[in-house]
């Protein structure tokens, strides 16, 4: 395959994105827990043989921005994967975000008819498991002061090989959950999603050839890089600063300095307060995800989402701060709460350069709700509830939606009541909660 024509480039970019989308569909259809099959709290992506992301589905920003770090951690631990190997991890300090989010990475290999099966790339998916142990159902205890209180921490570990799933590892993960059967089912759904992705990559390699597939992956990333740099070049050069507070203790500062220089952007979080003795700490992968989300939103959202989109972006987060927490800091809410505030701080900085494109801050939270119990009737219900989107310079904000780093759905009342010993009495918009103005914010929810 020579250089790709514009038509060929479009076909390939959508084919690669289709692999990730189909993985997500397979994962949701095979999952046991309502959190995955109903709320779609999961994500999938495709990577080249070097672990660079080449395509992702339209899933959850906080998953997708940090997933490359998980793939890198898996490759650092095991090198190039042989056929059949799948690696699981959730360690926030090795590419994860918070403990309930389990990432599984697998390799895709080509035809082995003429020797060793060639490596085509990697596929990975991440799913939020409703309980992985810890001090409270849902594995996100509000009173956690260290990571051990939040549940089972999994470094990169082999969960499947050429012989199939590793039963001993599945037993270990299930034994540390209040809902072991659900964990087994969701993990097997993740295995299945990776099988689908690997099969689709093999089919692409048959169409394009192994070398052609590799060139296509590089071409798609280069194309995204070119588009994004062109968009960055339209942002006024300058240095833009903004800070805000997390409502932790007497207030914890998140500060950022955004520097736009030609076709590059640097986001430096110097001045951010140190990590805190509660679960509001974000690890570096979460902060990188937030920066990537804002960067993509304000540059060229139509560019194929892959590693090329972020070559022009540099993120600096001080080690040991609340935006780059280190062991043993708890991180459960850093993923689902602090990530939203990081987005708002970045938008506050960019608003000084792009006042006609940046929305007002929205709900600023994922509205996490956990209900559960242990014992013979154990269950663990977890949900993030939608809220109001911030008004934009051109329209009012949307009501009752997930914004920022989340892109999940609200669990249908019927599905919730079927799966758990719970009853939904009210489910409506909270009128008047969006504020006033020419373009008001969206309304929140009552549930």
Token pair belonging to 222: 């280069």
Q: Is residue 57 part of a domain?
A: yes
Please answer whether residues 89 and 166 qualify as being in contact, where contact means their C-beta atoms are separated by less than 8 angstroms: no
> How far apart, in whole angstroms, are the C-alpha atoms of residue 269 and residue 151?
29
Alpha-carbon gap, residue 219 to 167, rounded angstroms = 40
Q: Is residue 59 part of a domain?
A: yes
Domain encompassing residue 220: 6-225
| Mean of pLDDT values over 359-370 | 89
Q: Is residue 406 part of a domain?
A: no
Give the pairing type, strands 444-446 and 428-430: antiparallel
Q: How far apart are CA 257 and CA 324, in angstroms?
A: 16
Structural contact between residues 224 and 303, judged by C-beta atoms closer than 8 angstroms: yes
Q: What is the pLDDT of residue 72?
A: 97
Question: With bands split at pLDDT 50, 70 and 90, how would you rate the model's confidence at 33?
Answer: very high
C-alpha to C-alpha distance for 182 and 174, rounded to whole angstroms? 8
Question: Which uninterrupted H or E stretch holds 243?
Answer: strand 238-246
- The whole-number pLDDT of residue 444 equals 93
- Whether 306 is in a domain gets the answer no
The answer to the question of residue 149 being in a domain is: yes
- Lowest mean pLDDT of 20-24, 47-51, 81-85, 248-252, name the range: 248-252
User: Which two three-digit tokens encode residue 264?
Assistant: 């590059």
Mean pLDDT of 269-289: 97
pTM of the complete model: 0.94
- Residue 436: pLDDT over 50: yes
Are 322 and 280 spatial neighbours (Cβ–Cβ below 8 Å)?
yes
Total residue count of the chain as it appears in this document: 447
- pLDDT tens-digit series, residues 88-111: 999 999 989 999 999 999 999 998
What DSSP designation does 249 have? T
Residue 166's CB: how many other CB atoms inside 10 A?
16
3-state helix, strand, coil in the chain (%, to 5): 35, 20, 45
The pLDDT score that the predictor gives to residue 99 is 98
393 neighbors 347 (Cβ within 8 angstroms): no
Domain assignment present for 336 = no
Cβ distance 25 to 42 under 8 Å? no
Cβ(421)–Cβ(379) below 8 Å:
yes
Q: Who's near 37: CB < 8 A, 6+ residues apart?
A: 28, 29, 31
Distance between CA 274 and CA 324 in Å, rounded?
9
DSSP E strand stretches across 48-189: 53-56, 86-89, 101-109, 119-128, 157-161, 164-165
pLDDT number for residue 428: 94
pLDDT score of 114 more than 80: no
Looking at residue 171, what is its pLDDT? 98
**Using omega within 30 degrees of 0 as the cis cutoff, is the peptide bond preceding 328 cis?**
yes
Q: What is the mean pLDDT of the chain?
A: 94
Per-residue confidence (pLDDT) for residue 1, from 0 to 100:
46
Mean pLDDT of the region 377-389: 91
**Number of other CB atoms surrounding residue 7 within 10 Å:** 8
Averaged pLDDT for residues 419-436 = 93
Residue 30 Cα to chain centre, angstroms: 20
User: Does residue 223 contact residue 13 with C-beta atoms inside 8 Å?
Assistant: yes
Lowest mean pLDDT among 7-21, 181-195, 267-281, 400-414: 400-414
Model confidence over 303-362: pLDDT tens digits? 999 999 999 999 999 999 999 999 999 999 999 999 999 999 999 999 999 999 999 988
In a domain, 98, yes or no: yes
Q: How confident is the model at residue 115 (pLDDT cuts 50, 70, 90)?
A: low
Query: How many domains does the chain fold into?
Result: 1
Q: How many CA atoms lie within 13 A of 152 on its CB side?
A: 25
Name which of 57, 61, 447, 35 is nearest 287 in CA terms.
61
The answer to whether residue 391 sits within a structural domain is no
């Amino acid at each position: 395959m020579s250089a790709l024509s514009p038509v060929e480039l479009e076909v390939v970019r959508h084919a690669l994105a289709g692999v990730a989308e189909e993985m997500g569909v397979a994962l949701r259809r095979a999952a046991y827990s309502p959190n995955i099959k109903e709320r779609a709290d999961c994500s999938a992506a495709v990577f080249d043989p070097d672990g660079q992301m080449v395509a992702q589905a339209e899933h959850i920003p906080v998953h997708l921005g940090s997933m490359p770090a998980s793939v890198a951690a898996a490759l650092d631990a095991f090198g190039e994967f042989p056929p059949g190997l799948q690696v699981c991890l959730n360690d926030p300090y090795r590419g994860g975000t918070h403990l309930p989010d389990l990432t599984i990475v697998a390799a895709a290999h080509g035809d082995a008819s003429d020797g060793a099966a060639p490596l085509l790339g990697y596929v990975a998916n991440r799913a939020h498991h409703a309980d992985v142990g810890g001090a409270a159902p849902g594995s996100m205890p509000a009173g956690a002061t260290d990571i051990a209180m939040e549940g089972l921490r999994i470094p990169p570990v082999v969960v499947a090989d050429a012989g199939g799933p590793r039963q001993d590892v599945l037993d270990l993960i299930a034994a540390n959950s209040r809902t072991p059967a659900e964990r087994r089912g969701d993990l097997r759904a993740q295995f299945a999603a990776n099988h689908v992705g690997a099969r689709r990559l093999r089919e692409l390699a048959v169409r394009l050839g192994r070398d052609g597939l590799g060139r296509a992956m590089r071409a798609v990333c280069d194309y995204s890089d070119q588009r994004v740099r062109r968009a960055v070049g339209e942002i006024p050069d300058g240095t833009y600063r903004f800070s805000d507070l997390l409502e932790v203790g007497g207030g914890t500062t998140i500060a950022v300095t955004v520097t736009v220089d030609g076709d590059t952007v640097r986001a430096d979080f110097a001045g951010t307060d140190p990590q805190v003795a509660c679960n509001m700490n974000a690890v570096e992968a979460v902060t990188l995800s937030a920066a990537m989300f804002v960067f993509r939103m304000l540059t060229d959202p139509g560019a194929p989402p892959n590693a090329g989109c972020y070559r022009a972006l540099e993120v600096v987060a001080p080690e040991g701060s609340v935006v780059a927490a280190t062991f043993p800091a708890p991180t459960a809410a850093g993923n689902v709460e602090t990530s939203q505030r990081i987005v708002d701080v970045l938008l506050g900085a960019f608003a000084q350069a792009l006042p006609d494109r940046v929305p007002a801050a929205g709900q600023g939270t994922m509205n996490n709700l956990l209900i559960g119990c242990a014992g013979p009737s154990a269950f663990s219900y977890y949900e993030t509830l939608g809220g109001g989107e911030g008004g934009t310079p051109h329209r009012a904000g949307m009501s009752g939606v997930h914004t920022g780093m989340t892109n999940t759905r609200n669990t249908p009342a019927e599905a919730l009541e079927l799966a758990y010993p719970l009853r939904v009495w009210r489910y409506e918009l909270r009128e008047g909660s969006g504020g006033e103005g020419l373009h008001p914010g969206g309304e929140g929810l009552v549930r």
